[in-house]
Every structure is written in structure tokens, then in C-alpha cells.
Structure 1
């Protein structure tokens, strides 16, 4: 605290040359002039004292026939005296502080967290339609009304929080993660179905949980054939069909089938080469206006832009963005795959196709693929034998049965 007061009042460091330094020090003590950091350099003495006390040394200097040299001037009064020649510098600091104060009353960033179904661009576009965007005054944002409008506009959002921190509008939302319950449907012929074959093949296994199976393992089937019927016959004591009940067929069915495979691509493609060096252009954005030395390249180039918004604190964003624009020139050239490269690429396509089948729980039994190369094309054609679970649903067809009441007895 003493050092702070010393800086505010100002102090000087002097060098004293006198034939009677003891008398000079006695006069200072008698007149209550404190001397600090006193050191001796040969026959000279160096010391520090306040700027006000320095002005009182004139008569002491004459009485002791001393010579006093000022070595340094420190403190706020001397700083302000030197700053008179740099008015523009301090005026710029003052204007900067005023600009920061003005910016603190506006929003310069909007952060949205917790959204998955409703994307951030969609939410920001909706806020823009409500005249809520970067650069607006914070006093014009009513967080309570904003939360209410978000819940009304987006029914999938069950909870929302909006708050202002610094120059940032922070919106936290929570979406409805629950799966909507299915509305129970009365089980009549319109809500029931048969299970049909999705491919031609041979039934490998069938485990029925609901419905009437019409095939057994080893039977051949065509695409669209009914494998499990949704019409279940109800028999009487004489094993006669009394009526049909209609259900939603459910079964695990595995079918062995042949999947046709066809893949064709051109051996001649267009590739990029990068003969030149990339160029970097720094830029900054002030209140939405880009200021940079970037100019559109004359030749074809890839252009990348990276930017970062400046902040004073984690929640105090500034309307200033800095970044750089990178241009990489390139040329397009034609390239023809060699036979070895074409075969390798064809094998990659085949492996991707097989991975997709395996992801659907298919078991690959065998494959027969022929690859044919021409001057410009590569063609792969054949079939793949697999065992794959699956079935299609089709609306059940009401069935007729004999009207036993109409029968006559002899």
C-alpha cells in the first residue's frame, strides 16, 4: 500500500555531492524529509525522496555547498507529464473502452445445446424470423417469452432454458426421447397380415409364433408366395372348419436364395493434381464486415476458410472474428486404371456389397462372379448364394368356409 501511495505522489532518485554530507542529512531529519534507499558510491550518496520534498532541498543545498543530480523520475505525475505528447494513444484507449462498454449491451453469439432432432441451423433460422440474432440489444430479449415460443413452435422439445451471460444468449433444450406408443388397433382383417416370401428360394427354417405356416423346411418358394397365413382355421369336434380367426402373422423365416450381383464402372476417371503452392490470406471481421487482402485466384483452386470469434471472457463475445483463407491451386487430369487397379477396385466394391449382406444377418454360402475388362469399362456380374432371414407383409385375404347350417341330411 505504501508503494502504491509512493507511485501516486511521485518520487525521484538523486545523487548528492557535498563536502559536508552529515550536515545535509541532519537538516533533512530536522525538517522531517524522509530519505529512502540510501547508498554510498565513493564520495557520493544516492537516495530516493518524494517529488514534493525534493522541492524543499534548495536551501539545504546552499548551506552545505552541495551539488544534486536527478537520476530518475518515477510515479504518476511524471507519467502524465510525459503522456501529454501521446494524446492520440490514450484517446484510442479511451475510445476502445467506450466501444467495449457499448458492445456489452448487445448479443454477439447464440449458443444452443441439447438439440439432436432439431438442428442448430433450423433453430437459428427460426430465431432470426423472430428478430433474434447477433447484434441485437440485450434489453429487447425477453427470455420468458422466448422459452414459451420455442415450446409452442417445436412440439418435440419438452424443456427449454434461455439466459443471457455477458454478450452471449445461451439456450439449453431437452427433446422428447420417448418412443411414441402405438395406438391399439382392433384386430380385424384390415389390421392383420400374411407373411410372404421376399425372394425366390428354398425355405431353410421356419419358427411360427402367430399364424398358420403353409411351408416347411426344404420347400421351394417364389417371391410373393404366402409362407405364413394370417387366417387361422378354428375346427369343431368333427375336425370341420367352424370359422377363421385373423391374426398378425409372426415368424422367424430363413430362406436360401441367390442374389444377383452387378457392378460396372469406368476405368477412366478425373483426378486432381496440385502443382502450385497454397496461399494464406489473414482476415478479420468487424461487425459482420470482412476486411482482408484475399482476392479470387485466377486458376481453379480449393478454398478453405477458418475463423474464430474473439472473447474477453468465456461469456463475453466480441463482434470481431479473426481467421485465414487458404487457397490451393489444382489441375484436373484424366487417369486410366491399370488392369490390376481395376481388379482391386472391383474386389473392394464386392467386399462392400458382402458386408452389407452380413450386416443384415445373411450367411454367405458361395459366390460366382465374373469380371470382364474392356478398354474403358470394368464389369462384374454373377450371383451370390446366401441364407438370409426375412419376410414381407401383405394384407390377409378373408377366406370362405362351408356353411354347415345349410347342410341337409338324408
Structure 2
């Protein structure tokens, strides 16, 4: 393979020799160290290949051997360049293009961050920029190990991070500690604490872990009723209260109740109708510079703008700092129309299904659905109740009984 490449770069020819002394011709070529290959007989003649440099040495050998020569084919880079000598600008541009691609391959043109949830891409890019890591910088100036150390030291909730260079991309992968939820701390409740009802309904199940239940399964309760007391009485041998042990009441209480549901939507709406009028322009972005080819000026009363861009890429990881795209403006008008009955039912059913899905995420079990869809002259209404089983209970601070204090936990 290497030999063929060298032969192509130097150039070679295919010749045919005729005469009465082909053996003398071959011996003289061997004596003058002229390399021949692909030698084969062709009738009363011989065909062979030799380099351009060797071909120029054949004149005295042909005279001594009384042979005639005919060039059948010319191959290689010198002949290619000679045939295309009028296209010098094309080859110059191709060489400059290759040189430009090489120079661009020495830099980072895309910083890709993955695994970040609580920290946005913009936040991470600003942090990297503060550490002099930005788009367009030389790859040899990037220390991936230092990037990892900087991120770990800056963000306590990042438990794993890696940085690597693939082509012209800097890949930053991280994993956050999802247990570190940033919430405002709830107000601490000290013993004793009771559980009161925060909804109306009928208790279906009650599992008490700490405290004294004040209701039982089947009891009908109202909002604000005491369900579990955190003050546990201490009895003597005569079953008389001698004091209290105070706890933060803890229990799982389930009630059957009804949840009201109501949703409205207007029957009439303005439908967007596209007129077919458009304005288009091609976009070319190279780094901070942008070129637009096309006229986007219009007098449309209502319009939408669509922009589609694509980053040029060589291979999987070699992103070029060049983006091409299309910008399109579409004109439209509004037309007053009404939803069909099937469309109303579909939309309201989808909204109701989303409502039920949110309830199920909260652990609510739906037993019965009594929601109906009604329609008047201007609105459609989905209204009714849902019979459900849900948890109930709100922990509130209780007051100690100062007359009977036994002890506290």
C-alpha cells in the first residue's frame, strides 16, 4: 500500500516497447537500475510500468537496443495536477479548507453538560467561564482534573462528576444528591402534639403508633375534630389518672369523603387560519457573526416566526463553530368558530383525567365518579363529585396538663 502511494505521488507511466531486441532492453534497464513492474507480453510487444524519473533515462537505452516505445497511459499526482492546472484556485481553496478544519480541531466548540437538575446549563457555563473555560479555547489549555475539583468544591450537592474531551466537545457529566432537597425547614413541634382532622368524612381505617385515638373506624368526623391525642394518661391501680406522658401523636388515618370537581371551557374560540403567505431567509452563523440571506420584511397583521438551526459536524464529536438554518415567518388570521361536541368531550375528559392522575400521585383512591358534562349557550361545564379514600390529619401543638405531670419523652 505504501509503495503504491509513493508511486502515485511521484507519477508513473504505462509503456509498450516493440523491436527485435526486447531482452537487450530489459538487461540495460536492469544494469542502469531502472525499476519496471507489471511486465507482460502483448503480441510481439511488451507492456510495463515505470516511474516518470526512470522514463526520462530511457533515451540512450532505446538507441542502443534499437527499440521503439509508445506511452499508453499517464498516472499519478503530477499528471493530475498538470491536467487541472487551470483550476489552481479550486485546489488552493481545498488546501486552505483542510488547514482551517485542522486549526478548528485544536479548539473546543461545544461544552455539553449532563446530569444537572437543580443547576441549569447557564449556571454551569457561567461557573466554567469564571474558571476560564469557555467555547473557542485551545484544548491543550484545558485541565479536566482541575474542572472536576472545581465543581466538587463549589457544589456540595454534586456527588460525582467527570470531564473529558471528545473531538471538539468538552463533556461534563455529573450526578447530584437528590436527597438534599432545598426546602424551608418546617416549624418544629414539641411534645405534646395532637392530630386533628383537616377534612370532613367517615373514618375507614385508623392505625395509631403514638398517642391515644379519640375516634374509631366508622366515626363521622368534621374538620377540626381531635383524632389522636399526644397526651397519654398514666393510671394507678385504681384506674385513676395520676399524670400524663407526652408524645408527638403519630398515626395513619384514612377517611371516605367527597371531593368537588368543576371545570369550564368556552364553546366559541378563535381558530388560527394560515393564509399561505410566507417570508423565508437562510441563516449562517459563525461564532458571534451571523449572515442572513433573504427578505423578512412584511406587513402581516398576525404572524408566527419559526427558526430551525443545525450545527455542522464532522463525525460524531467534531462540532464546527458554524450553524446553518432557516428562518420563516408565516401569516395567519383568526376565525370565530365553535368546538364540536366530540372535541368538547375529548378536551374535558383529558383535563379530568389529569386531575385524577394528580390525586392518585398523592395516594388518593377514587371509589366513585359522579362528574357529568353540561353545555349551555356559551360554556361547557364538567361538574360533580368524586367519592374517594384519602389520608387525613394535621399535627398541631397541644397544651400540657400542669395539674398532672408524670414525665415527658
Give TM-score scaled by structure 1 length.
0.79
For structure 1, which segment, 228-237 or 286-295, has the greater mean C-alpha deviation from structure 2 after superposition?
A: 286-295
1:24–1:61 contact (8 Å) kept in structure 2: no
Return 5+ residue gaps in structure 2 as ranges.
Answer: none
> Structure 2 vs 1, CA of residues 52 and 126 (structure 1 numbering), >3 Å: closer, same or farther?
closer
2:389 corresponds in structure 1 to: 387
2:279–2:296 contact (8 Å) kept in structure 1: no
* SS of 1:30 mapped into structure 2: helix
Cα RMSD for the two superposed structures: 3.7
Give the Cα separation in 2 of the matches to 1:380 and 1:317.
52
* SS of 2:276 mapped into structure 1: coil
2:27 corresponds in structure 1 to: 29
Give the Cα separation in 2 of the matches to 1:365 and 1:55.
100
* SS of 1:134 mapped into structure 2: coil
Give the Cα separation in 2 of the matches to 1:349 and 1:54.
86
Give, in angstroms, the shift of residue 262 of structure 1. Answer: 1.8
For structure 1, which segment, 385-394 or 58-67, has the greater mean C-alpha deviation from structure 2 after superposition?
A: 58-67
Give the Cα separation in 2 of the matches to 1:120 and 1:349.
32
1:310–1:321 contact (8 Å) kept in structure 2: no
2:283–2:326 contact (8 Å) kept in structure 1: yes
* SS of 1:398 mapped into structure 2: coil
* SS of 1:382 mapped into structure 2: strand
2:128 corresponds in structure 1 to: 127
1:192–1:249 contact (8 Å) kept in structure 2: yes
Deviations along 1:33-65, one digit per CA (max 9) or x if unpaired, are 565445566666544333334334435655777
1:294–1:325 contact (8 Å) kept in structure 2: no
1:253 corresponds in structure 2 to: 253
Give TM-score scaled by structure 2 length.
0.79
> Structure 2 vs 1, CA of residues 342 and 55 (structure 1 numbering), >3 Å: closer, same or farther?
closer
For structure 1, which segment, 241-250 or 48-57, has the greater mean C-alpha deviation from structure 2 after superposition?
A: 48-57
Matched positions, count: 394
Deviations along 1:121-149, one digit per CA (max 9) or x if unpaired, are 32123223444210123455444543333
* SS of 2:400 mapped into structure 1: coil
For structure 1, which segment, 337-346 or 126-135, has the greater mean C-alpha deviation from structure 2 after superposition?
A: 337-346
2:243 corresponds in structure 1 to: 243
2:21–2:67 contact (8 Å) kept in structure 1: no
Deviations along 1:10-37, one digit per CA (max 9) or x if unpaired, are 32223445xxx12255244235356544
1:311 to 314, 323, 345: 314
1:192–1:246 contact (8 Å) kept in structure 2: yes
Give the Cα separation in 2 of the matches to 1:28 and 1:136.
61
